Amino acid sequence: MLTTIDTVTSSYIKTLTDKQIVSGYIYMPITGNTSQFIEMLINIICTILFPLSLSLGLPVMLYNLVLEK
Protein backbone atom coordinates (compact mmCIF):
# COMPACT_ATOMS: atom_id res chain seq x y z
CA MET A 1 0.00 0.00 0.00
CA LEU A 2 2.83 2.39 0.80
CA THR A 3 4.41 1.68 -2.57
CA THR A 4 1.16 2.57 -4.33
CA ILE A 5 0.79 5.80 -2.38
CA ASP A 6 4.43 6.68 -3.09
CA THR A 7 4.01 6.02 -6.82
CA VAL A 8 0.82 8.08 -7.07
CA THR A 9 2.34 10.98 -5.12
CA SER A 10 5.53 10.97 -7.20
CA SER A 11 3.54 10.93 -10.45
CA TYR A 12 1.29 13.76 -9.27
CA ILE A 13 4.21 15.99 -8.27
CA LYS A 14 6.04 15.18 -11.52
CA THR A 15 2.92 16.19 -13.48
CA LEU A 16 2.57 19.49 -11.62
CA THR A 17 6.20 20.62 -11.39
CA ASP A 18 7.98 18.42 -13.96
CA LYS A 19 10.52 17.47 -11.27
CA GLN A 20 11.37 14.04 -9.95
CA ILE A 21 11.19 13.48 -6.18
CA VAL A 22 12.82 10.73 -4.15
CA SER A 23 10.94 9.58 -1.10
CA GLY A 24 12.43 8.10 2.04
CA TYR A 25 10.24 5.02 1.71
CA ILE A 26 12.47 3.65 -1.00
CA TYR A 27 15.41 3.51 1.40
CA MET A 28 13.56 1.79 4.27
CA PRO A 29 14.64 -1.79 4.93
CA ILE A 30 12.11 -4.43 3.96
CA THR A 31 12.80 -6.67 6.94
CA GLY A 32 14.09 -5.74 10.35
CA ASN A 33 16.93 -7.28 12.30
CA THR A 34 15.00 -7.69 15.54
CA SER A 35 13.72 -10.92 16.96
CA GLN A 36 9.98 -11.49 17.20
CA PHE A 37 10.41 -12.67 20.78
CA ILE A 38 12.03 -9.38 21.81
CA GLU A 39 9.27 -7.35 20.13
CA MET A 40 6.61 -9.49 21.83
CA LEU A 41 8.32 -9.07 25.21
CA ILE A 42 8.52 -5.29 24.83
CA ASN A 43 4.86 -5.11 23.79
CA ILE A 44 3.76 -7.17 26.79
CA ILE A 45 5.79 -5.05 29.22
CA CYS A 46 4.47 -1.81 27.72
CA THR A 47 0.91 -3.12 27.78
CA ILE A 48 1.24 -3.69 31.50
CA LEU A 49 3.21 -0.56 32.43
CA PHE A 50 1.25 2.05 30.46
CA PRO A 51 -2.15 1.59 32.19
CA LEU A 52 -0.36 1.22 35.52
CA SER A 53 1.44 4.52 35.08
CA LEU A 54 -1.80 6.25 34.07
CA SER A 55 -3.68 4.91 37.07
CA LEU A 56 -0.91 5.89 39.48
CA GLY A 57 -0.51 9.34 37.98
CA LEU A 58 -4.12 10.40 38.58
CA PRO A 59 -4.04 10.26 42.41
CA VAL A 60 -0.73 12.12 42.47
CA MET A 61 -2.15 14.86 40.23
CA LEU A 62 -5.29 15.16 42.36
CA TYR A 63 -3.19 15.30 45.53
CA ASN A 64 -1.13 18.14 44.06
CA LEU A 65 -4.26 20.03 42.98
CA VAL A 66 -5.68 19.82 46.49
CA LEU A 67 -2.42 21.03 48.05
CA GLU A 68 -2.28 24.08 45.78
CA LYS A 69 -5.65 25.43 46.93
- 8 A C-beta contact, residue 25 and residue 39: no
**pLDDT, tens digit (0-9, with 9 covering 90-100), for 37-67:** 888 888 899 899 988 888 888 888 888 888 8
- 8 A C-beta contact, residue 50 and residue 44: no
- 8 A C-beta contact, residue 4 and residue 23: no
pTM over 0.75: no
pLDDT number for residue 14: 85
Domain boundaries defined on the chain? 1-31, 34-69
DSSP class of 45: H
CA–CA dist 13, 38 (Å, integer) = 40
Distance in angstroms between the alpha carbons of the first and the last residue of the chain: 54
